[in-house]
Structure 1
Amino acid sequence: MLIAFNKPFRVLCQFTDSAADGPARATLAGFGLPADVYPAGRLDYDSEGLLLLTDDGRLAHRLTDPRHKALKTYWVQVEGTPDERQLAALRAGVELKDGPTLPAQARNIPPPSLWPRDPPVRFRKTVTDAWLELQIREGRNRQVRRMTAAVGLPTLRLVRVAVGPHQLGPLLPGQWHDLAAGPRHS
């Protein structure tokens, strides 16, 4: 079984919240997902979009192992207006504290038609923002956010729209479907 799930903003990519020292956070347990599936990869608490879940360990390994280099596609709202120098730096690979990233595919895109985020991204009249499509083959912790920050473009909103051939498609936040069985909504 392979589940495509549109992970909402501020939902953990696990079924329980192991942090007992603060307020409870939303988890995958609240979305009616099938029993015995687990995430194939991760998506940060404050990121949105496509999360794949499976009950097949070999498939999960193929989807997440860096040796297989599955291309992950993100739409990234950034603070500022990306120039060619910043895009070229992303395309060449960025130096992060844990070492250089692999080259990414990066391009400006028009603002995508997305669901509203709750809470919305803070709007400031004096600060411009723009959207990028960024494609990477790695999966380091908070990698896309760290890459855009390294070139002077802090991330405001991050939505994963594809992992390899698997697309988010029309799923709204909290909705999921079995890629083999067809649509289902929570």
Structure 2
Amino acid sequence: EFILRNWRIVKVATTKAQRKLFFNLRSQKKRLGWLNQDEANAIADDLGVETKTVFEMEGRLNAYDAAFDAGADDDDDTAYQAPAYYLEDNSMDPARVVESDNYEQDANDRLHQALDTLDDRSRAILQQRWLTEEKATLHELAAQYDVSAERIRQLEKSAMKKLKTAIGTDLVPA
């Protein structure tokens, strides 16, 4: 009984027929490798079990235990990657999804509140330079507002400074 319980991590033989095979199959097996159909039939008849049980027990005895979270082996020829390393899926970790959504929502709220504190011209310059798909150039904005490109750059820099103060430097590009 002790041998059955400690042979593998998972119990190998649970039924009476499997226990009988566990103790007798290895001694009945005369050659290395897998049993053929005739040999399995002979062993099944000899021990009074079904042939499929013989094949099943042979598979169990020839199998090895694989640790779920074991480290990789140092021998490159038999490199083994434990299932814990390739089965883990972090893409849909609920905590990370919620954290990401909360951060994005908070950042958007803070940005909109900070933009509302700017004057109309500074807000429009920032929106056209940073918050649109097609970014406006300094010269395009200068022509629009009838000022120099340098003045647009100064207004943009001043507006960015106000945004950094209002929402924190972690959300505003340098």
* Higher helix proportion (structure 1 or 2): 2
Which TM bucket (shorter chain)?
Answer: under 0.3
TM-score (norm 1): 0.20
TM-score (norm 2): 0.21
Higher Rg of the two aligned structures: 2
* Higher strand proportion (structure 1 or 2): 1
